[in-house]
Structure 1
Amino acid sequence: MSNAARSPDHDDARAEPRARMLGWLLLGDVAVYGVIVLLFSLPLLAGWLGGMLWFWVLVFTVSWPGVAYVRLLLQARRAEPDTQEADELLVDPASVPVLAGVLREIEQGLGMRHGTQIALDGRMNASIRLVQQGRRQRRRLTIGLPVLLALDEPCCRAMLLHECAHLAREHGRWSQWFHVRLQWWRRLADIHRQNHAMFTVPLRLFLRWYVPRLWLRRLAFSRVCERMADQWAVQQGGAAAGRLHLAMAVQDRTLSNYWQTLYAGAGRQGIAAVTPYQMLLSVPQHALPVDQAQARAWLDAALAEPAAEGDTHPVLLERLQMAGVHPGQLPADWPWQWPARPAATVWLGKALPALAARLDEHWQQAAEPYWQQAADAAGARTAEYHATRRRQQIQRLNADDWFVLAVYQRGQGAAEWVDALRQGLALDARHAGLNRLLAEQTAKRGDWAAASRRWQIVLADPEAERETPLCELLACALRLTDTALATWCRSELAALYVYAESPELYPHGLGQAELAKVRNDLDLLLRSANAVWLFRQSEDAAAPEWLLLIKAWDDWLLRTVANATGQIEATRAACNRLLPEVLGKTHLKLAVDYLLPGDVRLAACVDAAKL
């Protein structure tokens, strides 16, 4: 067997900066245990140098609170229970021999010993990790039943190749080390938030410097690991790796639609009668894209999404490019539908119905409070409907009232909702909610041009939710082969996720007389702060939203003292005391925020906005 088959990225065995990461982890451990040793050694040393009397005085004045502090530090090191384990079902490999055989084959290809446990859960995802069982650590593959139902065998095999590549490179062990230490640092932060004694100062200052840097390096390390696992899946799985990412992008939204529809019925039946995973064994046509155009619109929306904060996976576009797939040139058979022969029917075989039933039982227990919340929300909508009906008898309804009636009646399957829709549009032809209902109705009839016009009216409302209307409008444009409209929709989807490094802030633009009045009103604040800027948060000078940015920090030494003692910096504390008084004087409605060292908004703090 070749080296490439034994280990992912074997020729680049040091691709992850392991030595550097190990150094960062050890630095934190050395700091904490060093503080523990220091707290015990200093009183003993002082007692030995100063005589027995000083020894006992120091024991009671220093060591006693120090011992309590050390005890808290050591207690914070305890491991928290694995919460994921409570959400999954262990599966006996003998009951799913085909899945066990596929996993064994992948393990052999990676040069791993056989023995990975198999578990199922309800997520649209898969993961592999180390779990502690007594004194032993076991590998465990957890795969979501929706994944096995929505994907075919090659795609699921590519997913297993990705996950097993993590274990072959011992990424699971590193992930566990990071997880344990980040839990420890979080508990230490909770301890120091309530304890500002002087003997806690060294560790508090160290953690303030260390934890953010460890978090950033952990993210960078994990992203390298994910790229390596993706590369291995592409090398061994071929085109199936690209098909996997395409299918997951579409089926993620399918599953989201499925759960939304399921919880929408919470007011009509109890949770004991709901079996979501057994229902998934029949293809959920109501949640799937109606055609390839809608599926492509969902894919474009997923391509526009940036990496979430803290996400270690590459963005979808990067993963597709790594697999050799160009989003603009998709194969004709790209997997936007559920396969006729999903992996679940082959890999789980006769055990599939029983496993789905076990997942349903587990879901009913875990989801009961959420189901009750959905039922309460449905009850509130029903009460609002009946209140609107009573009000209809004594006064004329407006467009918002007709929207309430239409939504409720459509949810109940009553034909009267169409009349409520017509009545509301007669009062306000550009009502976003009513036009959304009409767009959905016309799309069901296949009138894509009329639906397109209605979705454009919805998007003209600046307060309307934009992602779903943009996806639906893009689907209409693809069906109508309207290239210009499709391009506009894609650019708008991308703009939804653009986070500017510096927010849009505009200098106040006040005249000399009004500016002098504002400065006079804020005089006490201007004397106490380092600097103050006044901005408009919109280009509309006629109806501005005002923002007052205050720079109120001390020099580095005083900031360090404030951090050490847990107090607010003196300059900022003075501004806090003055703000209620000065804001009561000015005629402007000001939102107030403080600038921090390194704040990206400092770039917008120009002289034209300075007070």
Structure 2
Amino acid sequence: MARPGRSGWKLSSRLLLGDAALAGAGLALGTAPLWLYAALPGALGVAAGALALPLPVAGWAMLRLPFSSRPPGPEDGLLLTPADAPALFREIEQVRAQVGAPALDAVYLNSECNASIRQHRRLWGGTRNVLWLGLPLLELLSTDACRAILAHECAHIAGRHGRYASRVYFARLQWQEAARQLARRKGLANAPLRLFMNWHVPRFLAASLDFARECEYQADAESARVCGVACASDALMATCLQGRALHEYASSLYADAAATEPPWPLVRLAEDGLLTSPRDQAEAQIWLHQALCRPTSHDDTHPSLADRLAALKVPQALDERATPAPDAPGMPGARGMAPTHALSATSRPLPWRRAQPSAAQEWLQDRRLPLARALDDSRREAAAQSLREAQDERREAVAAHHDLLRKQRLRALSADERARMAWHAAMLANDVDGATKLLRENLRDHPGHVPTLCELATLSQRQDARPDAAPDASATPGPDDARREPAQDAAEALWREAAAQPGPHRLACLRQLTAIALRRGDAGQALAWRTEADQLERRTLAEYTAAPRYEPHGLGEPELRRLADTLDPLLLAATGAWLLRDAASGHHVLLVLARESWVLRAVGALTGEPSYLRRDCQALLQRLLPRVQRNIEPLLLAAGDPLPAVCTDATRLRRAGA
């Protein structure tokens, strides 16, 4: 890869600066006792050398960082050998040879739905190349898709990628990991390294972001060269869709798990792997549309899915597969793509189902279950924590349901409260009929109530769509589909009524309407709903990623006094606190500026420890905010952070009598 002109020279200078500064400072600190003893006369030199004895420890930490044979963190996962999975290693060797990558020193299997590769320089020359493969990725994707992913990862260390590109790409990963490890090591021993990294790492990472994305584009192109554009694009889309499906599968697994025993998610996935989401191709297309709306932000190391597919020149195939109807008009694609033609008979299907056979079945064979069991066993503590979180969420939902039942005995519930009660009845007790009856009564008493419309439409589709009988959106309608039509029509009418009203719910309603239109083969209506939903989603994402805009809180004086009385200890410990409102979400935000001095900031920069005044403010926020009746988001500012212009005396909280 060619260096990108002036920005390339700037990046090269920062890359060399990092290594040179670490080497120079490390040598200076490592030999400090010797040259201090030699430079100063007599007893003064002996005393200075003795006082400098701890400095070689910091010097060695700086010297070994860019040349360590392993990353600063542990190499997690199960170490695989050719004897464990000979078919997998044969495939890796074939792909590696086709790409022109050097030999791998280690291959690890982990529990991520992802793959990655690392290259680390050794102190005396050479590199250590390590590949990580996620078992869920192998269980869900086909051999063709996984082969394209292997080619992408091997391309990062291949000769075609370029020594300069590989050096920059892995330097980014190394500096990021080193910064994370250093953040965990408090104290003065690493003060010189911390000062340098706090200055160098943010600047190097910012300068190399564009280059990192170019590396991803080049690795995608190499994957397409070796495996074909179709396989490379399928791998990108399948990873996106199956990753979301796996997340929902794991969430439902923990929600349904027994109270005492954490589930074995990877074993369950290897044994049956009945993923209930997406329910059909129409829902998978909705997921894909949502992913294609996400842009590449300025701080992303990987381009967005839309940009990566556009770089592979597959916009037409992408949109054709997203609209399974022979008379579909042109559809806007990613990154300003031109409208495309109708679906052709030879277009490839959307890779939304779990592959049969999967790469794990082909490459791991009879080692699938033992490896899945070993990975699950290594993550029992994390699984237990996830189970506790799921049980806490269920207990909170049960408590909220009981609270609504108590309120119902005392007074008539509001429309929102009745809609929440119906949701609890359907989700906690699986009483779909009772929830539907309650929602219809609520809609009769409160016509046009949006939460009720959406929940009733969802329950109508839930009764209609069984996972074992859900139709494929691309299949020919049959008798069962005809019986489903009344329920689909009822759900569509409810979604339409909800979508006609403004509010944040419209995006979900438009997505549901798109899926319904796709299921009945109405490509024109599906395109209209999808176009409107995409525009709304892009606008929502732009507002979410933009810098927050604050406005005055809008509260009255009595409520401000009550809030200030509750937060009085915090107002005493902080330099200032301002109550604002986020213009986009409407939520209230409390900006707190902790008391700090230049001495405390200097100590924090050297040791990595936050000042005790900042810790006190954090503890007070955690203790006092639950006592506030209003939902307020805290934001603790650091010294030197710019205050928004709306932080005036009118929005500042003051202590009583101040």
Whether TM-score is above 0.5 comes out as yes
In the alignment, is the contact (CA less than 8 A) between 2:117 and 2:154 conserved in 1?
A: yes
1:132-190: CA deviations, max 9, x gaps? 99999664544334434444444333222212211214666766555455444455555
Q: C-alpha offsets along residues 305-363 of structure 1, whole Å, 9 cap, x if unaligned?
A: 34478642211111111111214444642323437754527842xx52x2221233124
Q: In the alignment, residue 227 of structure 1 is paired with which amino acid?
A: Y
Q: Indicate the SS of the match to 2:490.
A: helix
- Equivalent of 2:515, from 450, 466, 475? 475
From the superposition, tell whether residues 94 and 325 of structure 1 become closer, same or farther in structure 2 (CA, over 3 Å): closer
CA deviation string 1:40-78 (max 9, x = no partner): 366325523xxx233344345x42564676577679898
2:338 alignment partner in structure 1: none
| 1:334 lines up with 2:354 in the alignment | no
1:504 is the counterpart of 2:549:
yes
Distance 2:435 2:591 in 1: 46
The 5-angstrom pairing of residues 73-88 of structure 1 reads 83-87=74-78
Alpha-carbon spacing, 1:409–1:172, altered in 2? closer, same or farther (3 Å): farther
Match of residue 404 from structure 1: 424
Q: How far has the Cα of 1:82 moved from its partner? A: 5.8
In the alignment, structure 2 segments of 5+ residues that lack a partner are 322-342, 466-483, 557-573, 622-629, 654-658
Say whether residues 1:344 and 2:359 are aligned partners.
yes
Matched residue, 2:257: 266
Identity value in percent: 24
> Is it true that 1:299 corresponds to 2:344 in the alignment?
no
Check whether the contact 1:126–1:163 (CA below 8 A) recurs between aligned residues: yes
Q: Which amino acid aligns with 2:378?
A: A
What amino acid is the match of 1:405? A
**Equivalent residue number for residue 6 of structure 1:** none
Q: Is the 8 Å Cα contact of residues 442 and 448 (structure 1) preserved in structure 2?
A: no
What is the count of residue pairs matched by the alignment? Answer: 558
Q: CA deviation at 1:442?
A: 5.5
- Counterpart residue number, 1:361: 373
User: Does residue 33 of structure 2 align to residue 40 of structure 1?
Assistant: yes
SS at match of 2:77: helix
Which runs of 5 or more structure 1 residues have no equivalent in the other structure? 1-8, 411-415, 512-528, 581-587
The amino acid that maps onto 2:232 is A
Aligned equivalents of 1:127 and 1:54: distance in 2? 53
- Report the CA distance shift for 1:87/1:38 in structure 2 as closer, same or farther (over 3 A): same
2:529 corresponding residue in structure 1: 485
Task: Describe how 1:173-188 pairs up with structure 2 within 5 A.
Answer: 178-188=172-182
SS in structure 2 of the partner of residue 213 of structure 1: helix
Q: Is the 8 A contact 1:263 1:374 kept in 2?
A: yes
CA shift in 2, pair 1:569/1:67, >3 Å: closer
Aligned to 1:520: none
Structure 2: how far apart are the matches of 1:567 and 1:305? 35
Q: Distance in 2 between matches of 1:558 and 1:129?
A: 40
Equivalent residue number for residue 302 of structure 2 = 313
SS of equivalent residue, structure 1 residue 239: helix
SS of aligned partner of 2:250: helix
Look up the match of 2:462.
Answer: 441
Alpha-carbon shift at residue 470 of structure 1 (Å): 5.9
User: Deviation of residue 377 (structure 1)?
Assistant: 5.5
Match of 1:450 in 2: 490
| Alpha carbons of structure 1 residues 131 and 507: separation in structure 2 relative to 1, 3 Å | closer
Partner amino acid, structure 1, of 2:19: L
The answer as to whether partners of 2:580 and 2:590 remain within 8 angstroms in 1 is yes
Paired position in structure 2 for 1:215: 205
Aligned to 1:23: 16
Q: Give the conservation status (yes or no) of the 8 Å contact 2:246–2:275.
A: no
Native 8 Å contact 1:89 1:119 kept in 2: yes
Q: Distance in 2 between matches of 1:285 and 1:420?
A: 26
Superposed displacement of residue 223, structure 1: 2.3
Deviates more, 1:13-22 or 1:401-410: 13-22
The SS at the match of 1:267 is: coil
- Give me the whole-angstrom Cα distance separating, in 2, the residues matched to 1:473 and 1:418: 23
Q: Which residue of 1 aligns with 2:150?
A: 160
**Take 1:401 and 1:293, find their aligned partners in 2: how far apart are those partners?**
30
**Residues 14 and 594 from structure 1, CA distance in 2 versus in 1: closer, same or farther, beyond 3 angstroms?**
closer
Cα distance 1:73–1:95, how it changes in 2: closer, same or farther (>3 A)? closer
1:233-252 alignment to 2 at 5 Å?
233-236=223-226, 237-252=228-243
TM-score, normalisation: structure 1: 0.69
- 8 A Cα contact 1:470 1:493, kept in partner: no
TM-score normalised over the length of structure 2:
0.65
* Distance 1:85-1:131 versus aligned 2 partners, 3 A rule: farther
1:423 to 438, 442, 445: 438
**Deviates most, 368-377 or 322-331:** 368-377
Deviations 1:474-514 (A, max 9, x none): 42354452544332322232234224543222368999xxx
3-state SS in 1 of match to 2:222 = helix
One-letter amino acid of the counterpart of residue 533, structure 2: C
C-alpha displacement at 1:606, in angstroms? 11
Distance 2:442 2:404 in 1: 17
The AA in structure 1 aligned to 2:351 is: W
Task: Determine whether 1:195 maps to 2:184.
Answer: no
Aligned to 2:384: 372
AA of the residue aligned to 2:438: Q
Shift in alpha-carbon separation, 1:550–1:457, aligned structure 2, 3 A: farther
215 and 606 in structure 1: CA distance in 2 versus 1, 3 angstrom threshold? same
Cα-to-partner distance string for 1:236-289 (whole Å, 9 max, x where unaligned): 3233222322332222222222222322221278457x56446446563523x3
Q: Which residue identity does 2:198 align to in structure 1?
A: R
Question: What do you get for the CA RMSD once the two structures are aligned?
Answer: 5.7
CA positional deviation for 1:233: 1.9
Name the SS of the counterpart of 2:116 in structure 1.
strand
Work out whether residues 278 and 357 of structure 1, in 8 Å CA contact, stay in contact via their aligned partners in 2: no
Shift, 1:597, TM fit: 5.5
Letter in 2 for 1:336: P
Which piece of structure 1 moves more, 458-467 or 359-368? Answer: 458-467
Post-superposition offset of 1:26: 1.1
Answer whether contact 2:360 2:368 (CA < 8 A) is retained: no
Q: 1:413 matched to which residue of 2? A: none
Are the equivalent residues in 2 in contact too, given 1:402–1:420 (CA < 8 A)? yes
Q: Say whether the 8 Å CA contact 1:305–1:494 is kept in structure 2.
A: yes
What's the counterpart of residue 514 of structure 1?
none
Q: Does 1:226 align with 2:238?
A: no
Distance 1:218 1:394, change over 3 A: closer
1:114/1:388 Cα in 2 relative to 1: closer, same or farther (>3 Å)?
closer
SS in 2 for 1:396: helix
For 1:34 and 1:333, the matched residues in 2 are separated by: 59
- 2:564 aligned partner: none
